[in-house]
Structure 1
Amino acid sequence: MSLRQALWILVLLLLLLAGWQFLRAVWLSRDPMSPPEATAASATAPGQQVVAAVAAGEEDDGEGFDHAPRLNAATADSAAGNEPEAFRSTLETQRLRRLLDGQQALVDRQRAEIETLQAEVAGLRQQLEESLHAQSPQSMASPEYAEATRLAEQGLDAEEIAARCGISIAEAGLLVSLARSGGRQ
């Protein structure tokens, strides 16, 4: 056998090996668990898998699904003999409890926010009522007469108010009489 024939046989064997690896990879992609893992998983009970996961210290993946719930020793012993349906119901119960806890926390936050808003509305309502009671007829007057009203409340006579503010003596007299009648009330 020549060197050339030996090389052709070697290339043929490498091609066969590559084809075998390709077929094996395709076969493994169809089956989610490789044969050694499948036999190991079927040999252990669901409760034992949980105990093994807890003993291994596996952490939650943060997606809200607890793949291996944490069990204490008493629960682990009782879970070892349970059927898969009981294990699924335990997982579902834990998931529902987490959802319920989240909803309860949300309700608590909303109640606190509602109480804060109610207190704020009560304060604003009180401020509004106080400001409405504090407003006198003179303060509700036109802004152009605000200074004249202030001077009339200070006790100046109509001629002085008319001279300072640039309004007629009749208007100033009216503001003086309003200021005097408002002081009596």
Structure 2
Amino acid sequence: MRLSTRPRLIVSAVLAALVLAGCAAQPDPERETEAATAVEQWAALDATELIDQLEATPVDERPQDVMASIRQDEVLVSAPDGSQEVSVPIEESHYLSIAPYVDQTHDCFFHSLTTCTGEMGGEEITVRVVDDRTGEVYVDETSRTHDNGFAGFWLPRDISATITVTAAGRSAETSVETGPDDLTCLTSLQLT
């Protein structure tokens, strides 16, 4: 019995799909094991150590086998392929990473310790954070941004504050909140 043209095309398409599926890249168990080990090593640190170490690591030396994203109450550490994710709790404080800029920025809500970069790496900045309700000064210091262009600050949770950043004779100011639904990555401070 001979198949008509249409059924032969369908059979050919199904066979081609099966062949291509068989030729697709297969998971690499060794690479997955390495990524899982890296995730476990970073997740073994407490949140403060994890954040401090990754923020201070020069951009070209940052780990390629792990992703780390800061949420309001945890750092999510994961393998780049999404095969593993571990939560490292943040106790009591809210971490806010600030990347002031002059010419170029990116949208950001949750700071990525492994991929976020700002334009002002290694620059001296003065940062002042003042509570909008009480006038309490939480931060008033001159520091240097990390190689990734960010400077991070531990702030009390559930406050409204005004942040002022000054660098090289330019400044910017904005309001922030540190509640359960607020950002951990501030990239909208354009210095003028």
Superposed pair shares fold, TM > 0.5? no
Q: Higher strand fraction: Structure 1 or Structure 2?
A: 2
Q: Under TM normalisation by the shorter chain, which class is it?
A: under 0.3
TM-score by length of 2: 0.21
TM-score by length of 1: 0.21
